[in-house]
Structure 1
Amino acid sequence: MDSTLMKGLRVLETLARSHEPRGVSELARQLDLTRSNVHRTLQTLTAAGYARQGSTPGTYECTLKLFELSSAVMDRVDVTRVAAPHMRRLAEVTEETVHLSTLSGAEVVYLDKIESPQPVRAYSSIGGRAPAHCVASGKALLAELSESNVDALFGDEVPASTGRGVRDRTELAAELASIRERGYAVNHGEWRESVGGVAAVIVNAAGAVEASIGVSGPLERVEPNSGGSYRDAVVEAARAISLDLGCTAYPPRRESRT
């Protein structure tokens, strides 16, 4: 492993997630690196066009080069383009926040989102992450993995974020089996106690899972609808996107998960 490259990526990721320019000493303390190491890294990132000096002397911030690269990658992810009109329709029907998500290890990453117009709503960001087993969008995706792949992501103990989530592999396996049976996943305040969600998977022409689509919002609004209008709207959106991607039958055929 190239340790210099890894340090550079850590600095770049920290800058990208910062809401304001960061100083060398501040970054060094946060990342447990020496000031000289951080300074050299920032100079290299600046020369490469990924960083620039901030408005306050001695601080640095990201340029738009990362955005340009991520946009080029996203342009190749057809599911985001195909899903866009269906996401808008789902947002209009439910008036809740809509997410398009994918798995990254044991976490779910938000590829795209539409914010709820409600004054009280679920907050998230594109590129943000959440523990997959604690949110509906992640659980829907986990349910499509083989048992061996799920075992590789989780040990015997499954960390719960609130008192509502599954706590071990036995409970998780039962939950994923239930999701496969009914065709959608529900989050009952398992990541944030006051936030719930409903999600279903999107599949492509080959029958492979591309992403998941779901709604999230305050538990008191989402939970009464998780077995009714929200569920139906989410599953219909997932079906419509899947058909647009070339899927010939939805829900996807359930293969053995061993």
Structure 2
Amino acid sequence: MENTKKKVQLNQSLIDGIATLQELALSKDPVGCRELARRLDMEPTRVNRLLQTLDHIGIARKTPKRKYTSGSGMHVLSAQSLFASGLINKIVEPLESLRKFNLIVALGMLWRDHVSYLYHAEPNMDSVNALGRLGLYPASKGGVGMALLAQQTDEHIAALYDQKGIDGYETGLDQLMVSINAIRQQGYSYIETQKDTHTLAVAVGKPAFCAIALSGWIPESSIPELVKSLNDVALIINEIPH
């Protein structure tokens, strides 16, 4: 599990700026300053200054209706982060080895209480089309997210969902932690995402920086074989510089 981070002097302006940036990235439609402030639980005047700054440097863009959306700089930054390190190109071959099971193959990373999928390939889908094709997804609703949440400390999870609803867990944190502890004990997540469809996922790295998954019709009898294959690929990806 993730170690508790050492106390450091934090730059609150940077934290608020990144939170604003993330909320813009989450929004499918342009959003106004006051609405964004409500979502972030921040003062509208502060959010307005942050948005104007992000607009000035091209990370955000102001629309004719005085709302904000992602700017060209955000897309460039996203592409740079994905491809400049070379990680995105190096993970494809190991993930391709899992295509033999004729299931969805996915790799995702945790960002707060959501998962961002770098790779999500349906059976027979070309690898190029599998890269970055999905947006953010609630971590508590999927196998990748639950596998990664299980790597966090109880305190971190509690802070993450403090005074927030938890997708898929109507009774809240205690119900979520039952599932989290089960995943910690078995070493993988096995989540029913819809009728007759499951996601089986394992975390990659110590500490974990991503998780890989297979999704589709996965009977319990297939779990040992699939978990072994996932762990084998996880070891390969963990050795890739990232």
> Shorter-chain TM-score: what band?
0.5 to 0.7
Distance 1:46 1:214, change over 3 A: same
CA distance in 2, matches of 1:209, 1:49: 32
Matching residue of 2:235: 242
Matching residue of 1:74: 82
Structure 2 residue runs of 5 or longer lacking an equivalent are: 1-9, 125-132
What one-letter code is carried by the residue in structure 2 that aligns with 1:176? R
How far did residue 201 of structure 1 move?
3.6
Determine if contact 1:200/1:235 at 8 Å carries over to the other structure. Answer: no
What one-letter code is carried by the residue in structure 1 that aligns with 2:122? S
Matching residue of 2:212: 213
CA RMSD of aligned residues (A): 4.2
For structure 1, which segment, 16-25 or 193-202, has the greater mean C-alpha deviation from structure 2 after superposition?
Answer: 193-202
Determine if contact 1:136/1:186 at 8 Å carries over to the other structure. Answer: yes
Distance 1:215 1:58, change over 3 A: same
Determine if contact 1:136/1:214 at 8 Å carries over to the other structure. Answer: yes
The counterpart of 2:118, out of the listed 108, 112, 122, is 112
Aligned residues: 215
How far did residue 213 of structure 1 move?
1.0
Determine if contact 2:57/2:73 at 8 Å carries over to the other structure. Answer: no
What one-letter code is carried by the residue in structure 1 that aligns with 2:221? G
CA distance in 2, matches of 1:82, 1:41: 36
SS at match of 2:101: helix
Question: Is it true that 1:90 corresponds to 2:98 in the alignment?
Answer: yes
Percent of aligned positions that are identical: 22
Matching residue of 1:252: none
SS at match of 2:28: coil
CA distance in 1, matches of 2:200, 2:210: 14
Task: Kindly report which structure 2 residues correspond to 1:98-177, keeping only aligned pairs within 5 A, or say none.
Answer: 98-103=105-110, 107=113, 109-116=115-122, 125-131=134-140, 135-141=142-148, 145=151, 150-154=153-157, 161-162=168-169, 167=175, 172-177=180-185
CA distance in 1, matches of 2:176, 2:120: 33
- Find the structure with the greater CA-based Rg: 1
SS at match of 2:74: helix
Distance 1:5 1:235, change over 3 A: same
CA distance in 2, matches of 1:57, 1:172: 44
Matching residue of 1:187: 191
The two structures have a TM-score, normalised by structure 2, of: 0.63
Distance 1:59 1:126, change over 3 A: closer
Distance 1:244 1:128, change over 3 A: closer
Matching residue of 2:20: 11
Distance 1:130 1:65, change over 3 A: same
What one-letter code is carried by the residue in structure 2 that aligns with 1:51? A
What one-letter code is carried by the residue in structure 2 that aligns with 1:44? T
CA distance in 1, matches of 2:148, 2:44: 42
CA distance in 1, matches of 2:54, 2:100: 42
Task: Kindly report which structure 2 residues correspond to 1:29-40, keeping only aligned pairs within 5 A, or say none.
Answer: 29-31=38-40, 36-40=45-49
Distance 1:15 1:135, change over 3 A: closer
SS at match of 1:167: helix
The two structures have a TM-score, normalised by structure 1, of: 0.60
Distance 1:196 1:51, change over 3 A: same
Structure 1 residue runs of 5 or longer lacking an equivalent are: 119-123, 248-258
How far did residue 70 of structure 1 move?
3.0
